[in-house]
Amino acid sequence: MKLASRPALAAASLLLCLSLGATACSDESGGGDSGSQPPLPSGDPATFQIETTTTLGQVVGRLPKHDRKRLSESITPVVQRWFNAAYVGGDYPRNDFRDAFPGFTAGARTQALHDLALMSNDSIGMRISGVTPKASEIALDVLAVHKKAVAVTARFRLAFKTQGDLQRRVGVRGRLLLTRAKPGWRIFAYHVARTGAQA
């Protein structure tokens, strides 16, 4: 398991990963110089088609109530942008999902591009004409140091139905590990499972 370039932040992220049982992290290249990371997308997460239910799970350390609300409001759009870009947004049919990972660090994006069939609709994009989201849920497990969130694990569940030649109900669930980076939170590792439509 490779550590991020900032030792303290990497240690905090590793502690969160271990304490919450996130042992199947796919990539751990976050937390470094923001200059090496792709810019955050400018798309409005309010265009997400259904409401995302975000709850707070385990909090290690002290985090004030108003900061918990602010954290939820910061993390939810990051996850929704990925949901939109990878699964439920955009036009179908299509076969280009190279831009499906907004909010990922450069290392996590590189890994996700190797996992396109899992991390996006790449394997079925040409066989469907549309997607209807059915459920979007996020639970945040937080590591706080000095009353400040330094690392977050977002446990998520996304369900959607596909239209077209391939009509299936698809489920995607797992964990996203996020770290603070300018200008906002970034996904630097993931553990994702998918059920339903296959290529």
- Domain membership flag for residue 119: yes
Provide the domain limits for residue 191: 7-33+51-195
- Domain membership flag for residue 43: no
- CATH number for the domain that contains residue 86: 3.10.450.50
CA quadruple 198, 50, 27, 90: dihedral, nearest 10: 60
- Domain membership flag for residue 187: yes
- Domain membership flag for residue 181: yes
- Domain membership flag for residue 42: no
- Domain membership flag for residue 44: no
How would you write the pLDDT of the chain (199 residues) with one tens digit per residue?
A: 333 334 344 444 444 444 444 333 444 444 433 333 333 333 444 456 788 999 999 999 999 999 999 999 999 999 999 999 999 999 999 999 999 999 999 999 999 999 999 999 999 999 999 999 999 999 999 999 999 999 999 999 999 999 999 999 999 999 999 998 877 899 999 999 999 865 5
- Domain membership flag for residue 38: no
- Domain membership flag for residue 182: yes
Q: Where are the beta strands (DSSP E) in the chain?
A: 53-60, 130-145, 148-163, 169-181, 184-195
d(CA 63, CA 149): 7
pTM for this prediction: 0.79
Domain count, the chain: 1
